[in-house]
Amino acid sequence: MDFKSLFRKFSFVAFLLFYTSSLFAQATRVTGVVTDGGTKNNEPMPFVSIGVAGSHVGGRTDNEGRYSIVSDKPISQLKASFIGYKDVYINIVAGKAQVINVKMMPLQQELTEVEVKAGKKPRYRNKGNPAVELIRQVIAHRDKNRPESYNYVEYKEYDKMQFSIANLSTKIAEKKFFRKYKFVLDNRDTTTVPGKNLLPVFLDEKISQYYYRKNPEKERTVILGQRNVDFGGSIDNEGVGQFFKYMYGKVDIYDNSINLITNNFLSPIANGAPTFYKYFITDTVVTEDNKKLVELSFTPRNTQDMLFEGKIYITLDSNYAVQKANLGINKNINLNFVKSMTVNLDFEQNPDGRYHLSKSNTLADFGVGKKNAGGFFGIRTLTYKSYAVNKQRPDTAYITGAEDIAVSDEVSHRSEQFWTQNRLDTLTTAESKVYKNIDSLSHMKSFQRTLDIATLLLAGYKSFNTFEIGPSNAFYSFNPIEGLKLRFGGRTTPELSKRYYFETYAAYGFKDQKWKGFLSATYSINDKSIYKFPQNYIRASFQRDTKIPGAALQFVQQDNFLLSFKRGVNDKYLYNDFYKFDYVHEFESHFSYTVTLKKWTQSPAGSLYFINNTGNINDLTTSEASLNLRYAPNEKFYQGKIYRVPIPSKYPILSFDYTKGFKGAFGAAYNYQSLHARVDRRTYLSQFGYFDAFVEGGKVIGQVPYPLLTIFRANQTYAYDLYSYNLMNFLEFVSDRYVAVNIDQHFMGFFFNKIPLFQKLKLREVASFKAIYGKLSDENNPALHPSLYQFPVTSTGQPITYSLGDTPYIEGSVGVENIFKFIRVDMVKRFNYLDHPNVSPLGVRVRLKFDF
């Protein structure tokens, strides 16, 4: 469990959530339900525009036709309007809380045929359904209506992301403790979302120019201006922005799946959509420019599935294009912390008669409970202008350069005049003040102290501007060799220098009475932070510490307190001395290489020993040079000041490693070579969730003792490890050639959603499969070559280290995740090699995973 990376991504959201949860109060409001008076049962109407007549205060009804209007000013009349229906005006009493239900009557509709049937409601079928026939036409014309169907496309894009505290009591600013923050707390927006009193706390804006060429296919995005709020050093503003944009992905209705709130939703016009959606023709509409549209309503066949509901408007011409879309989610959907979400898409017509997206607006209401009025509200608005098709540019216009990857100081510090002239949308009054307010807030010492405490608790580091101490979860640990182990360390930040970085820790074991430590110095060649893409740096480091053979723990986090608890026999350790030199170079294409020079000395500790036909051996020294090649197309990161975490995507990641050992160099004892290759990929399966998988293989060339062979990644902790074998013992299997496969399937509640109790608890199914097939050549078999180190045995002479035979090692698991929103529990089964000592055929493992 990597708690540092787990909590860092969510520290900002979690801090605001729990810090303000007790401050919300129900606002005075006008509420009600809008129904369709043209239907027999007065069905609720979603997406109806309703607001204060003669003003901009208002919004749309939700998926169940409900609305809520909040205003500090006197209200005398509401207006409800919807395409194809008569406008409704309702008088209200100013200054009072009231419930007003609205019934809307349709205008005379243009229908080619009306069929009236009495009796039992007919069963919904795809066959012979004109709505399904229409959606099949939309699907058939989908590729034609995508921008990529043109030879050349270009447009300007304005991207605005806003995050607000919702329905925070207006009286909170009068409390003594919060008076100093009154200038922030009074900056409210009551007009953007009906029923929501929004206090903006985060704003990110970006203006960019996009170019696309079909043949050969190239695309380029040139960032013209970008800025966001600055909370100071305690909160990574850029990382927060990256995380929010990952949650609010760009919505392309022409994609088969749409990624929102870290989940994949099936598009209502996806290839297989008629299998999962029901469609109904609910209206025909004539636009102001005399274009005829069909209003097509859709709803999930199973309301618990990860699907949308809402309406799309289809052009009745040869294009069958989407001209407008209103997407929402059902209240029963298996999402964490999301009370509601809507996506509104508007399209404009090109001169050739086809349509392009002109505006996308995604709104999500977050909270601990569905009925809690308070919480957080996120809005991402994308506006597109200056759209041009089949306008050829010089080749250089389509080639991404270094200036497009990293935002320059000039681009990130544009003047107010630039934003006024180039912003393709407007800021609300509250949004226009948020930059200045948060800047003032970040300079207040009381606010800085609060953030420091939150950062220490959630991320594990205490910042002192140019240097930070941590991680706190490694300050204390224990094991059978060192006993109680205390560790203290830290690292420099970009505030000290963007070129020079230092990291260190010191540790002491009270049982073995030995000091350990780590020290590294890094120099950035491209004068950019080493945590920013693309990296280009050199690093020299030294580490002296303990390690368990075959344990794939984090390099400088292996002392995590929670990993101190282990099952079975755990007394075979190594003392390691590493002297390393690394050169890392990433390219804009997302290809990278790393060159490493390493001197490594291993000394056995505990009950581990090195022995051959000459007797006991005190240590093993090797000197290596290695080359790592990696290609991760379209890879993106949660990229902050002092960390970066890859964002999962559908694109494969390929890596290859070559290592050469040099006998005689710096006391090295062996010549050898090793090869390793691996392919990782996440595959989305629409309604069946997704799976993460990797395939890897390796080979060691040369005669070497077992510490230099492949010691398979074992796990004797009680935490479920995604990349290790959770019922394999440390040092149990070695090999000099192998292939392995690992699959981790997340069903995202596809089956549990059909079971009422599981659906209510929002539990999700998970399963995994892991297998290794490997061999040990005669050349590296110590039973045939006594000069090699003998495999370790127990005190009674029973072997504990083996080579894989003709049968691969296999384990699998089934489990439940999303317990209390962040706990995963797996029942793990080991299928073979059960006659080995201290082997458990079954085990329960736990993993923390915070997700939406």
Mean pLDDT of all residues in 782-797: 92
Share of the chain above pLDDT 90, in %: 51
Q: What is the pLDDT of residue 337?
A: 83
Confidence band, pLDDT 50/70/90 cuts, at residue 803:
very high
The whole-angstrom separation of Cα 79 and Cα 832 is 70
Q: What is the pLDDT of residue 640?
A: 65
Question: What pTM was computed for the model?
Answer: 0.80
Amino acid at 566: K
Q: What is the pLDDT of residue 54?
A: 66
Could you tell me which residue, 63 or 244, shows the higher pLDDT?
A: 244
The whole-angstrom separation of Cα 88 and Cα 434 is 36
Mean pLDDT of all residues in 244-256: 86
Contacts made by residues 823-830, CB under 8 angstroms, sequence distance 24+: 823/847, 823/848, 823/849, 824/720, 824/766, 824/848, 824/849, 826/720, 826/726, 826/766, 826/768, 828/720, 828/726, 828/727, 829/727, 830/727, 830/728
pLDDT at 834 over 60: yes
The residue assigned the tokens 């892991």 is 770
Mean pLDDT of all residues in 102-108: 78
Mean pLDDT of all residues in 80-88: 77
Radius of gyration of the chain (CA): 31
Lowest mean pLDDT among 75-84, 615-624, 653-662: 75-84
Q: What is the pLDDT of residue 523?
A: 97
Q: What is the pLDDT of residue 117?
A: 46
Mean pLDDT of all residues in 215-225: 92
- Side-chain half-sphere exposure of 227, counting CA atoms within 13 A: 19
Q: What is the pLDDT of residue 370?
A: 58
The whole-angstrom separation of Cα 347 and Cα 387 is 12
Which of 247, 276, 134, 143 shows the shortest CA–CA distance to 685? 276
Rounded to the nearest integer, the mean pLDDT of the chain is: 86
How confident is the model over 561-620, as pLDDT tens digits? 667 778 888 889 999 999 999 999 999 889 999 999 999 999 999 999 999 999 999 999
How confident is the model over 441-495, as pLDDT tens digits? 888 888 878 777 777 777 778 888 899 998 888 899 999 999 999 999 999 988 8
Q: What is the pLDDT of residue 175?
A: 82
pLDDT at 136 over 70: yes
Query: What single DSSP character describes residue 171?
Result: T
Which residues 6+ apart lie within 8 Å of 755 measured at CB? none
User: Both tokens of residue 252?
Assistant: 């392309």
Assign 265 to helix, strand or coil.
strand
How confident is the model over 25-73, as pLDDT tens digits? 344 578 889 888 877 677 788 777 788 776 656 777 776 788 888 776 6
Amino acid at 299: T
